[in-house]
Amino acid sequence: MSLPSEKLRDRVSTADPKSDGESSSTVAPPRERLAFAALHHPDYRAYFITTMLSMMADNIEHVISYWVIFKAFHSPTLAGFAVLTHWMPFLLFSVYFGALADRYDCRRIIQIAQVMYMLVSLTWGLLFLTNTIQMWHAAALLVVHGLAGVLWGPASQLLIHDIVGSEHLQSAVRLNSTSRQLGIFLGPAVGGGLMLLLGPSVGLLANVLIYLPLTVWLLRAPYTGHSRHGTQGVRARGLGLKDGLEVLRQISGNRVILSMVLLAGFSALFVGTAFQAQMPEYAHDLGTDEAGAAYSLLLGANAAGAVVGGLLLEGRGLLHANARTAMIAAVLWCVTIAGFAAATDYPVALALLFLAGVLNLTFNSMAQTLVQLKAPANLRGRLIGLFNMSSQGLKAFSGVTVGIVGGFIGIHWSLGLSAVALMAVTIALFAFAIPGSADSR
Phi and psi at 322, nearest 5°, equal -155, 130
Q: Is residue 308 part of a domain?
A: yes
Please tell me what DSSP assigns to residue 321: S
Angle at 418 between CA 415 and CA 419, to 5 degrees: 85
Q: Is residue 13 part of a domain?
A: no
The verdict on 205 and 245 lying in the same domain is no
Q: What SS3 class is residue 63?
A: helix
Give how far the C-alpha of residue 359 lies from the chain's centroid of Cα atoms, to the nearest Å.
14
Phi and psi at 4, nearest 5°, equal -55, 150
- Identify the pLDDT of residue 431: 87
The verdict on 289 and 209 lying in the same domain is no
The verdict on 247 and 219 lying in the same domain is no
Query: Cβ contacts of residue 80 below 8 Å, gap of 6+?
Result: none
Within 10 A of 164 (CB to CB), how many other CB atoms are there?
Answer: 26
Judge contact between 128 and 100, C-beta under 8 A. no
Q: Is residue 115 part of a domain?
A: yes
Q: Is residue 228 part of a domain?
A: no
The verdict on 290 and 360 lying in the same domain is yes
Instruction: Provide the CB-side half-sphere exposure for 377 (13 A, CA).
Output: 17
Helices (H) and strands (E) in the chain, counts: 18, 0
Torsion of CA 389, 392, 396, 401, to 10 degrees: 110
Residue 83 falls in which region: left (phi positive, over 0), alpha (psi -120 to 50) or beta: alpha
Q: Is residue 291 part of a domain?
A: yes
The verdict on 289 and 416 lying in the same domain is yes
The verdict on 200 and 275 lying in the same domain is no
- Identify the pLDDT of residue 438: 44
Q: Of the residues 199, 223, 247, which one is the last residue of a structural domain?
A: 223
Q: Is residue 271 part of a domain?
A: yes
Judge contact between 13 and 4, C-beta under 8 A. no
The verdict on 249 and 196 lying in the same domain is no
The verdict on 269 and 207 lying in the same domain is no
Number of domains in the chain: 2
Query: Cβ contacts of residue 21 below 8 Å, gap of 6+?
Result: 374, 376
Q: Of the residues 223, 250, 268, which one is the last residue of a structural domain?
A: 223
CA–CA separation, 122 vs 125, rounded Å?
A: 5
Q: What SS3 class is residue 13?
A: coil
The helix (H) or strand (E) run that includes residue 99 is helix 76-103
CA–CA separation, 123 vs 117, rounded Å?
A: 10
The verdict on 184 and 275 lying in the same domain is no
Q: Is residue 87 part of a domain?
A: yes
Q: Is residue 8 part of a domain?
A: no
CA–CA separation, 136 vs 99, rounded Å?
A: 31
Kindly report the pTM of this predicted structure. 0.75
pLDDT tens-place string over residues 105-143: 999 999 999 999 999 999 999 999 998 988 888 889 988
The verdict on 186 and 244 lying in the same domain is no
Q: What SS3 class is residue 74?
A: coil
pLDDT tens-place string over residues 273-326: 777 767 777 888 888 755 456 766 787 788 888 888 888 888 777 777 788 999
- Identify the pLDDT of residue 382: 82
Please tell me what DSSP assigns to residue 41: S
The verdict on 268 and 402 lying in the same domain is yes
Within 10 A of 199 (CB to CB), how many other CB atoms are there?
Answer: 15
The verdict on 90 and 171 lying in the same domain is yes
Q: Of the residues 194, 223, 252, which one is the last residue of a structural domain?
A: 223
CATH of residue 185's domain is 1.20.1250.20
- Identify the pLDDT of residue 5: 39
Closest C-alpha among 213, 231, 262 to residue 55: 213
Domain span including residue 293: 239-436
Would you give per-residue pLDDT tens digits along the chain (441 residues)?
444 433 443 343 333 333 343 334 444 444 456 778 888 899 999 999 999 999 999 988 887 887 788 778 877 666 667 767 777 888 888 888 988 998 889 999 999 999 999 999 999 999 999 989 888 888 899 889 989 999 998 999 899 999 988 888 888 888 888 888 888 778 877 888 888 889 889 999 999 999 999 999 999 988 988 876 555 444 445 445 566 566 667 776 788 888 999 999 999 999 887 777 677 778 888 887 554 567 667 877 888 888 888 888 887 777 777 889 999 999 999 999 999 999 999 999 999 999 999 999 899 989 988 888 888 877 788 888 888 888 888 887 877 788 778 888 888 998 999 999 999 999 999 988 776 444 433
Write out 348-388 in H/E/C secondary structure: HHHHHHHHHHHHHHHHHHHHHHHHHHHCCHHHHHHHHHHHH
Write out 207-254 in H/E/C secondary structure: HHHHHHHHHHHHHHCCCCCCCCCCCCCCCCCCCHHHHHHHHHHHCCCC
